[in-house]
Amino acid sequence: MNMQLNRTFFDADDAIARHEHKSLLRFIVCGSVDHGKSTLIGRLLYESGLILSDQLWELGHGGARKGAQNEEIDFSLLLDGLAAEREQKITIDVAYRFFSTARRKYIVADAPGHEQYTRNMATGASTADLALLLVSAADGLTLQTRRHAIIVSTLGVRRFVVAVNKMDLVDWSQSRFAELQSEFRTFLGALDIDEVTFIPLSARNGENLVNPSQNMPWHEGPTLLQYLETVEIGDDQQRAGFRMPVQYVNRPDSTFRGYCGLIANGEVYSGMPVQALPSGQRTHVARIVTADGDLAHARAGQAVTLVLADDIDVSRGDLISSRDKPATVVDRFEAKLACFSMERDSPDGDTCKRLF
């Protein structure tokens, strides 16, 4: 136990301040209940050295209280924050955690795997750059895993990494990994996916998570962390031009009017020509205000307050867009609707066929 805990730990806020120059990757971890999502994320946090001392104490004592063998650290306790989650050993609501490596910083969303809480995972998927779908090597591709894949793809996630977890339960079998890989590729063929990567691992044992696994020398691809550090993100967002939906108009007094929102696409800089939609009124960006002070420029994924050069009519729900690559205003659109029945699954268990 003591050997496992002999590590150097850092304050998360201090780590964020020191690594502001790094790119930010937002990803969601989803899949069926008990396939190891919370354990995988907790292990990533542990390996990144971002566990505080009180959290570390809770990991050791919490695992012992739950009857873990050999007082083994229970990494899932880092994510299951609600009392009901810890009692039932399931994730109920989306849990967000930050961690950082030498190359990149991350915001990871741990999505509920239980069917009853499927609706909760859509929130985490709405801002994700990629989806990490966890599949148990022993249980295979379940109906709930298919549901999660459909939801995240419907919400616009185009990059998937499929982590085949619990490879230790199938004796590190290459043939079992290949079988699941083939089955998942066939299923994903019906979805709008640009890129999919498959990685075999064991989150509980740390195999193929950060360092290559000695038990799976047949895997020639990256470890999970190597993939997360090198995957390209943001190209589509930059090409589309600047887009920021206005979420709130900040008017504390007569001297300040700011438009708050999360930058959905592209970049913005002080002095940039922009237009408000749907009105089409044009102006320039006077200031980019944040809690840490004014910025010279900001990009997709950042929450900012824009102060405009002219006093034009912009309301909550409007869109601030770049002039050179303006957004298109329409009064009709085409959508893909995924409808999940709340009835009991059919005997063959293949209810997802109704979605296509």
Is 115 among the domain residues?
A: yes
Output the average pLDDT for the chain.
78
Query: How many Å apart are CA 173 and CA 180, to the nearest integer?
Result: 11
Same domain flag for 209 and 244: no
Are 148 and 163 in contact by the 8 Å Cβ rule? The answer is no
pLDDT tens readout for residues 137-162: 998 888 888 888 888 888 888 899 99
Are 124 and 133 in contact by the 8 Å Cβ rule? The answer is no
Query: How many Å apart are CA 97 and CA 16, to the nearest integer?
Result: 12
Is 253 among the domain residues?
A: yes
Q: What is the DSSP code string of 41-75?
A: HHHHHHHTT---HHHHHHHHHHHHHTT-GGG---G
Check which CATH number belongs to the domain holding 11 and give it.
Answer: 3.40.50.300
Number of domains into which the chain is organized:
2
What pLDDT is attached to residue 67?
A: 45
> At which residue do the structure tokens 């031009």 appear?
241
pTM of the model: 0.66
Domain assignment of residue 43, given as a range: 2-233
Percent of the chain at pLDDT above 70? Answer: 70
Cα 300 to Cα 69, 264, 290, 303, distances in angstroms: 45, 5, 14, 9
Same domain flag for 203 and 245: no
> Is pLDDT at 307 greater than 60 in this prediction?
yes
pLDDT tens readout for residues 246-279: 999 999 998 999 999 999 889 999 999 999 999 9
Category of 331 on φ-ψ map: left (φ > 0), alpha (ψ -120 to 50) or beta: alpha
Are 237 and 300 in contact by the 8 Å Cβ rule? The answer is yes
